[in-house]
Structure 1
Amino acid sequence: MLNDRFLPDDDVRLVRSVAVDAPADEVYEAIRPAQIGDDQLLAAATWLRELPQMALSFLQSGDREPIAPDTTVGDLLDHPACVPLAEAPGREIVVGLVGRFWNPLELVESLTPERFLAHTGSGAKGVVSLSIHERHGDNCLLVLEARARGLDETGRQRLSRWTGFVKPVLGLLARRVLDVIRTDAEDGRSARVPTPTPTEVEAASGLLATIDDAELTDRRVLLRVDVNEPVEDGRIVGRDRLQAAADTIQTLLDRGAGVVVLAHQGRPGREDFLDLGQHAAILDERLAVPVDHVEAIDDDRALEAAGSVAPGEVLLLGNVRRAEGEMSDISPGGHARRDWVQAVASRVDVFVNEAFPACHRSHASLVGFPELLPALAGPGLLAELEALERVGRQDEPRVAVLGGAKPGASLDAMAYQLARDRVDEVLVGGLLAASFLEADGVNTGQGTRALLEEHGYREHGRQARSLFDTYGDRIRLPTDVAVHRNGDRFEVPVDELPARGRIRDIGKDTADSFADHANDAGTLLVHGPMGVYEETPYDRGTHRVFSAAGKADAYSVIGGGHTVQAITQLGVPRDRFDHVSLAGGALLSALAGEDLPAVEALRSREGPVQRGAGE
């Protein structure tokens, strides 16, 4: 890449990418004329997040007036502060910046590429590139990469502080610029190119390195998995995540690696917070080799065992949530400085993250190791990201079925998906539906209201009202519900509420209507049951809607812990869905457009794995 010529070493790097259903030459032609000035998100991010003067000046041509509606990507590339460094027609454009980025008045202007290379002194240097990478058929990957390096110690410190403040916003802006270019390039096509295959996940993963990119023979792999299963009376009763972990372990073994496994079960102080002995036994049953287990992380016995794992062997360490500071919400660099993280890292060669259900957390075992080791994304994590990317780009109508008992997280996801037209309509059940009914002025009854209060209705009720006011024509609420009264199920029209008894399910008319909408969908996203599916007869709504979703001729993604439990309990075959996600909180965070810290920690850590086990 051309930017390697101008800034091979950097202190800060940001990479965003997007898959484009258009040939490389058409994407290249769409870059400069792509209009970003009328993008509301770009304008809002600029003003509402109070970017430092550099970002304001850069996006507003230095006059502090709102960004002009006809501003294009070409205008940014030709900005006086940018040094035109190089261009490979049809492939890559690179511009540079020199000076104190945190103070636009001190940028050095009108440099030649030669002077850029030779420039030293104070402040910082930066390069920004837009590059196009051809893929299978007539589609490609468009990548925006920004690098920066401090020119002296003061510059490095100021650059670090500045980027720490603005990097999340700059990442959002970069993604929006890419989205605008992609839209223009794809709209210019005479015919649609087929959607990228499931292995083409760069749009979601942002150029993550994968196990396919690495030579793992004779390497010792530290594999982080999520085997956090349901627990009853101290016994593990779930198997879904354990089976997924076993599949990945076997894949690594087949590639000639030795595997050291890190995992957690439950949270400290809860009944499901257990040692991992049961997990080791279950994995042992599912693998072709024995699974050794040490219920510790960094004592002498655990470290000696980890450092002795040979190719073809598997070791499961103890519950990582017992490790000091594992669950602290601090930076990856801070976690990487922990003694136990460094001790474990010194016994292995490469880190693989396969714990997508936990990727919304900035925990030490998720974000610390990529600071110390070559870091790769596991196949299951990539499959999750690819499915999420495809949901917003598959056939219309795109229908989301949202329910469950956590309205707050679901509302955030709904707001993001509706605002960006990633879904055309939302079918709402569960306690989430009760939130909307209350927000719409319906008295759901004393029992249901008490349950809503337990789940924070005072906080999210206003959000539900706002969403319904804005997108009411795309949000489908129940027209009838089922209540529990004297041990029996009674169905009540919504306009006759309140009724005696707490709402436990959607009614038959609503279930039939939702099933019809699901059957007509081109794309389906399902998260959360429609009612209390654990209890008969309040499982009827969930069974009716989920069965219809499984039979629909649509690209379908279903996810969430209770959702997966529901299809298992109700006998809805999993293979009817294109993707079954084992994630709950991480899935909703991703659907709400939030960065996943553990995924972000992998983004700039790609590269071939060369070091052998024990070196």
Structure 2
Amino acid sequence: MTAFNTIDDLDDAQRVLVRLDLNSPVEDGTAQDNRRFDRHAETVGELAEAGHRVVCMAHQGRPGRDSFISLSSHAEVLADHIDRDVGFVEGIYSETALEAIRSLEAGEVLLLENTRMADEELPEEDPEVKAETKFVQTLAGEFDAYINDAYSAAHRKHASLVGFPLVLPAYAGRVMQSEYEANTAIAEREFDGQVTMIIGGTKATDVIGVMNAIGDRIDTFCMGGIAGELFLRADGANVGYDIDDSELFDSQWDENADTIGELLADRGDQIELAVDLAYADEEDDRAEIDVAEIAEKTESFLDIGSDSVAAYEPIIRDSDAVFVKGALGVFEDERFSVGTVGVLEAIADTDCFSVVGGGDTSRAIEMYGMEESDFSHVSIAGGAYIRALTGEPLPAIELLIDAAK
């Protein structure tokens, strides 16, 4: 049973305010299509098809950054995904915006301007404070229900995320529902067999925190990426430090060396380290070297090696559940996609519960011809995924749970 009310619980013919997360790459001032539009289209399309009046709000970028733009182009992309018109208004709770909201007919969809263009949106404050803002108070009077579908922003205490559940009946959209159920599975679901986690990516501090928090729930960690090198360094290998201006390793080593050492000491039998690494040779081709043979790090290692992939694959195939947090190499470059693609293909071929998350890792599925349907869940969340894995509270979700009570 879901912990909160969902759009299945809505009464008929409602005026609904729907919070999405359409934060997207921006090129030449225009939002680029990505997986988030496709996911949120399920919620928006279902609501419109059911005859609700649907008003959507979302954020894009942060003030002062090039990605901080209007949502006018987002409305066009969303319309393509739901195969119906999406109106757009250059306002959030201005009189113009309120008039556009009031003029909606059943089944019509409207997108409001970037929520972060409202001064009251961004400061992280308690929900009770946000609920009293003019932003929330003005808009709330126009709606029968609030629907939060922005799981990937659920760790934020912004007005559009935590203010409305205190003043309107609150529900979860399809993205919120599916992400919550999949990403809390480590903590809440019992598995019959081995549970494996693939650890990679560039933000070692995040994943090391995950390992420390959920070690009791995981049988095997398969290591790659920056974290993988740092663990190799702690294990005595001559890797895991900066050789240029990248500043990817040393600062994270200084922050996490003690925790890494403790994890190796306490959970060394659960941690599988790479036995070889890949780099670009003088001809700019992929080359591999055994970790034991590295006397000094003179090249940037961009992937785990083939022997490491071969060692990880049987672990995956023997697992009842596999969770992925981060890529094992620079998969955007086909030469260094071997690790990431190898483990993803092994997961796809295995009859196990699987969740793929962590930054852009899920993009590898599409890039290399795999199907999302081969995995139990492909997460579009970053920070919220980390919070869920470590058991930290997600304020927007806690409010949905409270609302259901």
- What is the distance in 2 between the residues matched to 1:224 and 1:514? 39
Hey, what does 1:271 align to over in structure 2? 66
- Give the one of 320, 331, 338 matched to 2:115: 320
Residues 309-361 of structure 1: CA deviation (Å, up to 9, x unaligned) = 23211110011111113121110011111111111111111100000011111
- What is the distance in 2 between the residues matched to 1:403 and 1:410? 8
- What is the distance in 1 between the residues matched to 2:25 and 2:291? 34
Q: Does 1:372 align with 2:167?
A: yes
- Give the one of 284, 293, 302 matched to 2:79: 284
Hey, what does 1:226 align to over in structure 2? 21
The answer to whether the Cα contact below 8 Å between 1:289 and 1:312 also exists between their aligned partners in 2 is no
- What is the distance in 1 between the residues matched to 2:121 and 2:150? 15
- What is the distance in 2 between the residues matched to 1:271 and 1:455? 27
Residues 101-133 of structure 1: CA deviation (Å, up to 9, x unaligned) = xxxxxxxxxxxxxxxxxxxxxxxxxxxxxxxxx
Q: Does 1:488 align with 2:285?
A: yes
The one-letter amino acid paired with 2:201 is G
The within-5 A match list for 1:467-486 is 467-486=263-282
Q: Which has the larger radius of gyration?
A: 1
Residues 505-562 of structure 1: CA deviation (Å, up to 9, x unaligned) = 0011001111221111111111211101111311111111111111112111112331
- Give the one of 95, 100, 103 matched to 1:305: 100
- What is the distance in 2 between the residues matched to 1:526 and 1:592? 14
SS of equivalent to 2:243: helix
Residues 61-101 of structure 1: CA deviation (Å, up to 9, x unaligned) = xxxxxxxxxxxxxxxxxxxxxxxxxxxxxxxxxxxxxxxxx
- What is the distance in 1 between the residues matched to 2:244 and 2:47? 49
- What is the distance in 2 between the residues matched to 1:249 and 1:454? 45
The one-letter amino acid paired with 2:277 is V
Structure of higher RCO (CA pairs closer than 8 Å, 6+ residues apart): 2
- What is the distance in 2 between the residues matched to 1:427 and 1:448? 27
Q: Does 1:596 align with 2:394?
A: yes
- What is the distance in 2 between the residues matched to 1:434 and 1:410? 13
- Give the one of 194, 219, 238 matched to 1:397: 194
TM-score, length of structure 2 as denominator length? 0.94
- Give the one of 120, 143, 147 matched to 1:348: 143
- What is the distance in 2 between the residues matched to 1:564 and 1:303? 38
1:481: Cα distance to partner? 0.5
The answer to whether the Cα contact below 8 Å between 1:229 and 1:236 also exists between their aligned partners in 2 is yes
The within-5 A match list for 1:450-599 is 450-453=246-249, 456-486=252-282, 487-497=284-294, 498-599=296-397
The within-5 A match list for 1:245-264 is 245-264=40-59
The one-letter amino acid paired with 1:606 is A
1:602: Cα distance to partner? 1.4
SS of equivalent to 1:252: helix
Amino-acid identity (%): 38
Given the superposition, is the C-alpha separation of residues 251 and 413 from structure 1 closer, same or farther in structure 2, using an over 3 Å criterion? same
Residues 257-300 of structure 1: CA deviation (Å, up to 9, x unaligned) = 11110101222222222211111001112224311001221221
RMSD of Structure 2 on Structure 1 (CA) = 1.8
- What is the distance in 2 between the residues matched to 1:541 and 1:448? 24
Residues 431-483 of structure 1: CA deviation (Å, up to 9, x unaligned) = 11112122323221542895334763321232222222211110111111112
The answer to whether the Cα contact below 8 Å between 1:306 and 1:348 also exists between their aligned partners in 2 is no
- What is the distance in 2 between the residues matched to 1:528 and 1:281? 31
The answer to whether the Cα contact below 8 Å between 1:336 and 1:371 also exists between their aligned partners in 2 is yes
TM-score, length of structure 1 as denominator length? 0.63
SS of equivalent to 1:451: coil
Q: Structure 1 unaligned segments of length 5 or more: list them.
A: 1-199, 608-615
Q: What is the count of residue pairs matched by the alignment?
A: 400
The answer to whether the Cα contact below 8 Å between 2:135 and 2:159 also exists between their aligned partners in 1 is no
Q: Does 1:439 align with 2:234?
A: yes
The answer to whether the Cα contact below 8 Å between 2:243 and 2:297 also exists between their aligned partners in 1 is no
- What is the distance in 1 between the residues matched to 2:199 and 2:60? 27
